[in-house]
Chain A
Amino acid sequence: MSTTDRLVRTRWWLPAVSLLLGAIMFAAFAIGGETADGAQSFAVMAALAALFFFGSRRSETLGGLGGPARDERWEMIDLRATALAGMVLIAVVIGAFLYEIASGEDGSPYSQLGAIAGVAYVLAIAAGRLRS
């Protein structure tokens, strides 16, 4: 296994994804009749794309987020950051679910989101065990 084959993304990758997401958000807002909000969303995503594109050469963090500076160390950083973000999100979902049921509601949509997260985790564990 080569360590060079991990440097596969270019500095265009994340800016392009940001612009694409901005365009999709604009389309979704436009379909819902909120074109002005869609334009604002696209402008924010375009600004992010520019930040990732121009900042990737000056900042290792932006370069790693954007792709070109990624290597095995960045993969580890990304994996840990993703796991932490997932834990934070699940904790918030559980907290919101508890708040909803304590307020006399049925817990939706947090119960479903929590169930999806739990199932995804178990499936990922099973797949990881089979592959290793």
Chain B
Amino acid sequence: MSLLEVERLNVVLGESHVLHDVSFSVAEGGVTALLGRNGVGKTTTMRGLLGLVQRTGSVRVAGREVATLLTHEIVAGGVGFVPEDREVFAGLTVGENLRLAERRGSTHDYDLVFSLFPRMKERLKQRAGTLSGGEQQMLALARGLLNENRLLLVDEPSQGLAPHLVTELVEVLERVAELVTVLLVEQNLSMVRRLARDAIVLDQGRVVWTGTATDLLSDAQGTRDLLGVGVAP
């Protein structure tokens, strides 16, 4: 059964028509990867799903149309967001960032958050802007996991992280995927190979391929054609 159904999503930013009738679905459970070269509209798709940019089209979460709702209403309906570049509130402490993320009508699972990210518990009183890049990524994920979500949108979590932190991140995301359905934008294909069950590929604002991640990544030539990069064996 599909948890997320997107039909004819269009986004125009200024003079630029970024997304053209983007349609796809995300099955409940596990990780679905949203892939494509730089600038094809992956982040815009994420922001479009949440209403952070003006868009037209249909977005249904668990059968409920949300394209007519405001961003905070979509999120309150159980859609978490971990944005590109983390976007933690630098002037607030770690504790304040988490307190701000507490949603009304949801339980706040600090035990889960601190079991996944024990360093966050140690740094509750530290300003988020003084955390390392990896720690900021952990905080961004922690904010997304604090509430009960049906769907978690995670945008380029490995961007700018050192390799050992990426390994740590993959382990965390594996555990996260056991708890919530994840739509993941990611450039790191070895990470996608390890985490994703399904894959959607965008090119120039259009969906050009959907299927299982295994099918996509096992076809080296196809992957090179679609994503512009080779896949490590």
Indicate, yes or no, whether A interacts with B: no
